Structure 1
Amino acid sequence: MKSTTINVGISACVLGEKVRFDSGHKLNRFVANELTRHFSFLPVCPEVGIGLPVPRPAIRLISDQQRIALVEAKNPDNDFTAPMQHYARQKVAELSQHALCGYIVCAKSPTCGMERVKVYKHNRADKEGVGLFARELMTQMPWLPVEEDGRLNDPYLRENFVSRIYCLHDFYQSVGYETEASKINAADVVAFHSRYKLTLMAHNPRMYKQLGQMVATFRDYEPERFFYDYRLGLMQALTYRASRNNQTNVLMHIQGYFKRMLSRQEKQELARVIQDYRIGELPVLAPITLIKHYLQAYPNNYLQQQRYLEPYPQALRLRYNL
């Protein structure tokens, strides 16, 4: 039986645990107040994981032109690179057994930052690094939705991240997990892909076509190869922001399904709302809400199964400002 639990990894300090070098935390209010209602978080502090105490001396990434090292800031002779790399390999492998659907990391951290982490070289610091744990996470699990705590304050990045988590969870529920990849079957793949056609069109029309071709030639693949390639392509496609133009094209595509059912006045109303969204006067939620209203009056099986119309629980209110 499939699990309905949505497992998401997270830097322990972002969840409010006092594990930082100064005994503090970096609690994210959106995580604490909203996402904890929907996800089961698996907190990790890599620095505590390798045995460092709380509090502890600050650590940083340095470059000596041959490698990136993780060292104590005031005493670079204390080198934690090898222990961190070993811990990261083991911990990420362990986390992969929990069917992770996402991961929230701590920005700027020399262990958990996913981008623009300071790397010290001689007398300067360049924001070009990736935390050692985050690097291992994204290397072992390149399909996994990963986001930094600070970037969750951006409504577009927040919505995109959460929608990817729910999509990956749906994929596992519908198609199976890694341990079941050899048993993947065409019917489940086609049903899943069909639900995400409009979503993919909104995010990346090119990848929408490529993934559709993969599904059409499903029987040409080894089951495990299809599972990994499709999952990776799906998640990479959804990392692209759903642009206003792409969203408008999708909404107009949906509009075409109602051309024989709606009255002239209803058609004009839907066209006006879509146009108002296109020019930025309304959020995308406005035409989607109207479409859902028309779907209640004029049911359509294909549209009603589309995750584009409801990619996550409405209670999260993520489309209000898009």
Structure 2
Amino acid sequence: MQQIKVGISACLLGDEVRFDGGHKRSAFCTDELGRHVQFVKLCPEVGIGMPVPRPTIRLEQSPDGPRAIVPKTGEDVTERLIAFADRSQPHIEQISGYVLCAKSPSCGMERVKLYNPENGHARKEAQGIFAAQLQQRYPALPLEEDGRLNDPQLRENFVMRVFVYASWKSLPSPMSKADLLNFHTSLKLLLLAHNQQVYRELGRRVAKISEVDNATAKSYIESVMTALSAPATRANHTNVLQHIQGYFKSHLNEAQREELTETILAYREGVEPLLVPLTLLRHYLREYPNAYLSGQTYLNPYPKDLKLRYAL
């Protein structure tokens, strides 16, 4: 697989491109995730020709939806930001995820201030213009904000989705049914941990597919990425761990079975992190190889040195 590319707001890599000439460097992105991905940095506001430093932009209500306005001059830069999204398409189509700058009227993913131009009051209910374009045009693309990456569950979930989407993008084109089936099989336990209903529905859909055309592939991966978009619950993880445990039932002695059961229950009760039962299960997988389990993304969704399951 070629190195994974991830889009990112340029200010999060330390580029001094914000309206005030500053940056919002993300230590996780630059020091941790950056070891495993190639960042593609963009700044929509600089990309439309605005200077650094520059007058602020804000989102204002209008009958046609939020508009990006420069309050100092009254200039509407909405269409220029949308045109920037058009020009960025060759870059966006190469990436497997995007880290956005929170609260930005161009890049904010959620809860961006939306102003009433008549009274100046604002509500945190909008999405940045460029971020909205990304979501509309690339619904399967994993998106996350820098601030939300401070949450261990959201951080782990985003990185997992990036690596899953990168694996999807590495599949041959045109794609055969065998390619799709192998990919889907590798995701079964991960889907089971995140959304049991979609896990069952996708299994039925894949079984009925005779030929993988563009529409079929697009519908499939959008369903997968939507299912994975919410972090898995402790209860669902426990269900998957116990499911994996069943594969070793005939190989383990009574003491080993008891230890594994206690470890999984300790995770369920919040006494141990997810990494503990997973480490024990991976140990038994090395001792008693199983081709199906070895191919499951759930057991190794991303590089271990990111240490993302220590706090789950």
- Is 2:151 aligned against 1:161? no
Residues 269-310 of structure 1 deviation map (CA, whole Å, 9 limit, x = unaligned): 000000000111001111000001111111111111111111
Q: Which residue of 2 aligns with 1:112?
A: 107
Provide Cα deviations, 1:217-275, integer angstroms capped at 9, x if missing partner: 111x5511111011101111100221111111101111111110001000000000000
Hey, what does 2:139 align to over in structure 1? 142
SS at match of 2:69: strand
Q: Which runs of 5+ in 1 are unaligned?
A: none
| Inter-partner Cα distance in structure 2 for 1:191 and 1:272 | 33
Three-state SS of the structure 2 residue aligned to 1:33 is helix
Letter of the structure 2 residue corresponding to residue 186 of structure 1: K
Q: CA RMSD in A?
A: 1.2
Q: Which residue among 49, 52, 55 is the counterpart of 1:54?
A: 52
The count of corresponding residues between Structure 1 and Structure 2 is: 310
Query: What is the SS of the residue equivalent to 1:213?
Result: helix
Residue 153 of structure 1 aligns to which amino acid in structure 2? N
Instruction: Return the offset for 1:86.
Output: 1.7
Query: 2:280, 2:84 → 1: CA distance?
Result: 50
SS of 2:79's equivalent in the other structure is: helix
Shift of 1:162: 0.1
- AA aligned to 1:184 is M
Q: Which residue, out of 188, 191, 199, partners 2:182?
A: 191
Tell me the amino acid that sits aligned with residue 216 of structure 2: F
Note if contact 2:7-2:92 (Cα within 8 Å) is conserved in structure 1.
Answer: no
Identity %: 47
Q: Does the CA-based 8 Å contact 1:8-1:103 persist in structure 2?
A: yes
Whether 1:312 aligns to 2:302 is yes
Aligned residue number for residue 285 of structure 1: 275
**Residue 205 of structure 1 aligns with which residue?**
196
Corresponding residue SS for 2:20:
coil
> Contact conserved, 2:177 with 2:212, CA < 8 A, in 1?
no
Amino acid at match of 2:101: C
AA of the residue aligned to 2:112: V
Residue identity opposite 1:216 in structure 2? A
Question: Hey, what does 1:94 align to over in structure 2?
Answer: 90
Secondary structure of 2:222's counterpart equals helix
| Partner secondary structure for residue 95 of structure 1 | helix
Preserved contact between residue 8 and residue 40 of structure 1 (Cα < 8 Å): yes
1:113-163 CA distance string (max 9 Å, x none): 011000111231011111000111111100000000000000000000000
Gaps of 5+ in 2: none
Aligned-partner SS, 1:34 = helix
- In the TM superposition, residue 90 of structure 1 has moved relative to its aligned partner by 2.5
Contact 1:89–1:136 (CA<8 Å) still a contact in 2?
A: no
> TM-score scaled by structure 2?
0.97
Q: Are residues 1:262 and 2:252 paired? A: yes
What is the aligned partner in structure 2 of residue 170 from structure 1? 167
- The 2-side partners of 1:289 and 1:69 are apart by 50
Deviation for aligned residue 1:95: 2.2
